[in-house]
Amino acid sequence: MEKRSLGRLVRPAIILSLVFLGTACAAHAPQDYLKNLAGSEARKANNLFVPVFWIAAFVFFFVEGLIVFAAVKFRDRAGREEPKQIHGNSALELTWTAIPALILAVVAVPTVLTIFNVAAKPGPNQVKVHVIAHQWWWEYQYLGTNPEVITANELVLPVNKPVYFTLDSVDVIHSFWVPKMAGKQDVVPGRTNTLEFTPFETGEFYGQCTEYCSLSHANMRLRVIVKSQADYDAWLHEQQAPPVQPATPDAQQGQQIFMSNICITCHTIAGTQAQGQLGPNLTHFASRGTFAGSMFDNTPGNVDRWIHETSLLKPGVIMPRFGCGQTNEAPYAALKCISDSDIQAIVAYLESLK
């Protein structure tokens, strides 16, 4: 009876293992931190991880092999004498204490060297970015730029140039992680942490908050967009320009609605009366490919839905829903809704802010 019920578990166990294996081998895994690493610190960590992994694998198979060998060779059989007991054998016990200690001492050398090597050091010729974590999006201030470049979620960097980050949080503990670039760095309120890495390849790299920060933690993503130095300089230049003045009647109307609405208490658009600090800076909103913690592609349709149904799209979000027929909780329960056509005009305005 016992045996049969155990046997029944074998098939589901195999299927479950295959499912787990399958997810591990997903073809498109942009946050795989073992392959195609594109940043200095991620490569340093990997250069430590790989040899330590093989040492650990060797130890595992060697020790398990001995255990299996001993269990099989000295197993109890009818008429067989008890094998020789080695309990209290000083020579053996010294040996198997000394060998692991030696292995750990050897592994400690590259480990400690790597720890010191990846510790962030501010230096000249570095790009300096102040990262501010919010529930649930990332703000980036490019230090030393004048006028200061402030953007959200998409971190644009030049290739082959060290970047020095200072990281702060305005609310709870978050963690900043771009697996292809570097290890994780916690972002803690009331304390400034630092991080440094050099991107070695141009392209788009995915990142993620990796410290549970309540409801929309999983929706707090980010992108690192690495450009050639020339493209980066052009980007900086565009970001420093004053916001584009809306050219179409739709966008002009949208600007008026935006400026006369509660939007301006939370969002900044440089050079206008919109100077709010609670939400992302929208001065060059249309230059970003994604929004709301890089959850959505920045398309007019998505931004339209966002303004209508905000917290339906991103649970817990600190921006009320503006669509008519939507309900908000306190303190926005009595908020006046914005008509579909007015929201459309706002979207036209926001999408003109290149």
- The least distance separating ligand HEC from the CB of residue 332, rounded to whole angstroms, comes to 7
163 pairs with which residues across the strands?
127, 197
The alpha carbon torsion through 240, 241, 245, 246 (nearest 10 deg) reads: -60
Site track 159-198 with Cu ion (rule: CB under 5 A), x = hit? ---------------x------------------------
CB 140 within 8 A of CB 239: no
130 pairs with which residues across the strands?
141, 166
The residue among 225 and 292 lying less far from ligand HEC, judged by its C-beta, is 292
Burial class (CB in 10 A: 0-12, 13-18, 19+), 302: middle
Binding-site member from 140, 177, 235, 322 for ligand HEC (CB under 6 A): 322
- The least distance separating ligand HEC from the CB of residue 9, rounded to whole angstroms, comes to 43
Which of ligand HEC, Cu ion, none binds 224 (CB below 5-8 Å, type-dependent)? none
Site track 117-136 with ligand HEC (rule: CB under 6 A), x = hit? -------------------x
- Does residue 314 interact with Cu ion by CB under 5 A? no
The residue among 110 and 276 lying less far from ligand HEC, judged by its C-beta, is 276
- Does residue 217 interact with ligand HEC by CB under 6 A? no
- The least distance separating ligand HEC from the CB of residue 263, rounded to whole angstroms, comes to 3
Return the amino acid letter for 177.
W
The residue among 198 and 310 lying less far from ligand HEC, judged by its C-beta, is 310
Q: Which whole-number Å values give the CA distances from 101 to 5, 51, 94, 97, 107, in the listed order?
A: 44, 17, 11, 6, 10
Q: Which residues contact 242 (CB under 8 A, 6 or more apart)?
A: 270, 271
- Does residue 319 interact with ligand HEC by CB under 6 A? yes
Please tell me the distance from the alpha carbon of residue 287 to that of residue 64, in angstroms, as a whole number.
56
Q: If DSSP codes are grouped into helix, strand and coil, which group holds residue 73?
A: helix
Nearest-5° Cα angle at 265, 223 to 343 = 75
The residue among 103 and 313 lying less far from ligand HEC, judged by its C-beta, is 313
Please tell me the distance from the alpha carbon of residue 243 to that of residue 272, in angstroms, as a whole number.
9
CB 264 within 8 A of CB 275: yes
- Does residue 307 interact with ligand HEC by CB under 6 A? yes
CB 321 within 8 A of CB 313: no
Q: Which stretch binds ligand HEC (CB under 6 A): 86-94, 164-172, 206-214, 278-286?
A: 278-286
- The least distance separating ligand HEC from the CB of residue 154, rounded to whole angstroms, comes to 8
Which of ligand HEC, Cu ion, none binds 261 (CB below 5-8 Å, type-dependent)? ligand HEC
185 pairs with which residues across the strands?
176
Q: Which residue has the tokens 């991103």?
A: 314
Q: Where are the beta strands (DSSP E) in the chain?
A: 127-134, 137-142, 149-152, 154-158, 163-169, 174-177, 185-187, 193-197, 203-209, 221-227, 290-291, 296-297
- Does residue 213 interact with Cu ion by CB under 5 A? yes
- Does residue 314 interact with ligand HEC by CB under 6 A? yes
Which of ligand HEC, Cu ion, none binds 322 (CB below 5-8 Å, type-dependent)? ligand HEC
- Does residue 36 interact with ligand HEC by CB under 6 A? no
Which of Cu ion, ligand HEC, none binds 209 (CB below 5-8 Å, type-dependent)? Cu ion
- Does residue 270 interact with ligand HEC by CB under 6 A? no
Structure-block tokens of residue 258: 């935006």
- Does residue 217 interact with Cu ion by CB under 5 A? yes
Residues counted in the chain: 354
Structure-block tokens of residue 244: 């584009």
- The least distance separating Cu ion from the CB of residue 85, rounded to whole angstroms, comes to 55
- Does residue 138 interact with ligand HEC by CB under 6 A? no
- The least distance separating Cu ion from the CB of residue 178, rounded to whole angstroms, comes to 14
- The least distance separating ligand HEC from the CB of residue 166, rounded to whole angstroms, comes to 21
